[in-house]
Structure 1
Amino acid sequence: MEPKKTTKADVGRNSSIYFAVGLALMLLLTNLAINYKTYDKAAIDIGQLTMDEELEEEIPITDQLKTPPPPPPPPPAAPEVIEVVEDEVEVEETVIESSETSQEEEIVEVEEVVVEEVEEDIEVPFAVIENVPVFPGCEKEKGNNAKKACMSEKISQFVNKKFNTDLASELGLSGRQRINVIFKIDKNGEITNIMARAPHPGLEKEAKRVIGMLPKMKPGMQRGKAVTVPYSLPILFQVQD
């Protein structure tokens, strides 16, 4: 059966081309609409720049001051007359005698000069000394360890007996009190260089007083010579509230 219409009269035969062209036109118009920019004339108006005429400053002409020339120097003074005096004073010449001796001169013998040896005050720690200081009453003990123990016990008994334990309460202190005392037993057995540290200066003073009352001891010996021996003693006591 033959169609009634010709292919030229068919409207839908080029619809795909028309659609593609229309779509391209719409995309172009959309792109132009998006990228289109407008500017405010008031924002870009740079105006006009006006420049005034340069002012010419008139510089006044000043006259140069003419200073008068300096006065001429005074004429040179006449030279003084120098009198020549004849040298009539006789000068005595100093004769330097020779210090060399002759064979006939007797030589005086010089007496022997005695140089006194100064004994150094050597300190040896209590822990390593060969013979420890001996406290009175510890002479019969044998060995350093026994004499050390006897000395420590005797000093503790002496301090407990002489120390004023009521002083802490009088000073307003309470609880356990500790006093660190350091002193030296010199080569003569005397107590020297007493130092104390305590919570109160009154306790330090009392500790120095008591340690200063320790009796004279037999000095410590190192290699057969008397030496100074430092000794430290902690004093602990409880204050009764």
Structure 2
Amino acid sequence: MELKKNPQVDLSRDSGLYFVIGLTIVLFAVWRMLEHKTYSTAEEFVTIMQVMDDIDEEVPVTHMQTNFTPPPPPAAPDVISIVEDMEEVEETLIESTESSQDIYVNDAVVAVDEVEVVEEEEEITVPFAVIEEVPIFPGCEGLADNEARKACFNQKIQEHIKNNFKYPSTALELGIQGKVYVQFEINSKGKVAHINKRGPDKLLEDEAVRIIAMLPNMTPGNQRGRPATVRYGVPINFVMQ
């Protein structure tokens, strides 16, 4: 005997519908979970002000200060002496020093003989090449001829430069060399003054000035019978060997 299934009780008949309904429910639940938002709740604080009914205030104890009675003034002396404060003051008369139109001033008359005329000598500066009488360097006093004194002067200047020449050490280290032109004056007192220099470096110029400043005092030169300032120039050559 063959068994037959009742179509009313067949469970697989609506399985597709149930699957779709279940899938829809699951998708809806997932969508709601994704769209769900949470908010942090702010805690409310309640401030309570406590007021005390009984306030006990401590009042500071004060003391009343009594008035201090000053001591009585000293008693007056029995005998009061009266001193006269009026003194005689001598008045000093101050005469005015201002002049007015009413005052006549006598003219001062000076005689011509009382005026002393002083002739001021003008300092003359003459180049060494044209001076009438050249300055006399120490050691050249015995020469009477002016040309001989010039030659002796030039020779003594060269000897002085050689004896006092000292090459600056810094210039040697830096390799500085060259010629320094020095011009100076021998004034009417026979002293060296107004030294001017021109060279390739300050180190060489300073050494040249030092050498010329060491020149001794000389007998001043004469021009027209009067002591004159003589201008002299000399080159100093700094060469490393």
Instruction: Give me the whole-angstrom Cα distance separating, in 2, the residues matched to 1:100 and 1:130.
Output: 55
Give the CA deviation at 1:188. 0.7
Which residue matches 1:143?
145
How far apart in 1 are the matches of 2:158 and 2:168? 18
Equivalent in the alignment of 1:201: 202
8 A contact 2:168–2:207 mirrored in 1: no
Distance between the aligned counterparts of 1:117 and 1:169, measured in 2? 51
Q: In the alignment, is residue 129 of structure 1 matched against residue 110 of structure 2? A: no
Q: Tell whether the 8 Å contact from 1:197 to 1:204 is kept in structure 2 after alignment.
A: yes
TM-score by length of 1: 0.52
- Structure 1 residue 166: deviation in Å? 4.7
- Segments of structure 2 that go 5 or more residues without pairing to the other structure are 1-99
**Alpha-carbon distance in 2 for matches of 1:212, 1:226:** 21
CA distance in 2 between counterparts of 1:130 and 1:115 reads 29
The residue that corresponds to 2:188 in the other structure is 187
- Distance in 2 (CA, whole Å) between partners of 1:181 and 1:97 is 67
Pick aligned residue for 2:102 from 96, 117, 120: 96
User: Please, which of 118, 121, 126 is the counterpart of residue 119 of structure 1?
Assistant: 121
**Closer, same or farther in 2 for the Cα pair 1:100/1:109, shift >3 Å?**
closer
Deviation readout 1:13-69 (Å, 9 max, x if unpaired): xxxxxxxxxxxxxxxxxxxxxxxxxxxxxxxxxxxxxxxxxxxxxxxxxxxxxxxxx
Shift of 1:192: 0.3
Q: Percent identity?
A: 42
In the superposition, relative to structure 1, how do residues 195 and 214 fare at CA in structure 2: closer, same or farther (>3 Å)?
same
Compared with structure 1, are the counterparts of its residues 96 and 122 closer, same or farther at alpha carbon in structure 2 (3 Å cutoff)?
same
CA root-mean-square deviation? 2.6
Matches within 5 A, 1:220-239: 220-239=221-240
1:76-105, CA deviations, whole angstroms, 9 ceiling, x for partnerless residues? Answer: xxxxxxxxxxxxxxxxxx87366799xxxx
Amino acid at match of 1:96: D
The answer on whether the counterparts of 1:168 and 1:239 sit within 8 Å (CA) in structure 2 is no
Q: CA deviation at 1:119?
A: 1.8
Structure 1 residues 167 and 196: CA distance shift in structure 2, 3 A: farther
TM-score by length of 2: 0.52
SS of 2:200 mapped into structure 1: coil
Could you say if the C-alpha distance between residues 115 and 204 of structure 1 is closer, same or farther in structure 2, counting changes exceeding 3 Å?
same
Does the CA-based 8 Å contact 2:171-2:203 persist in structure 1? no
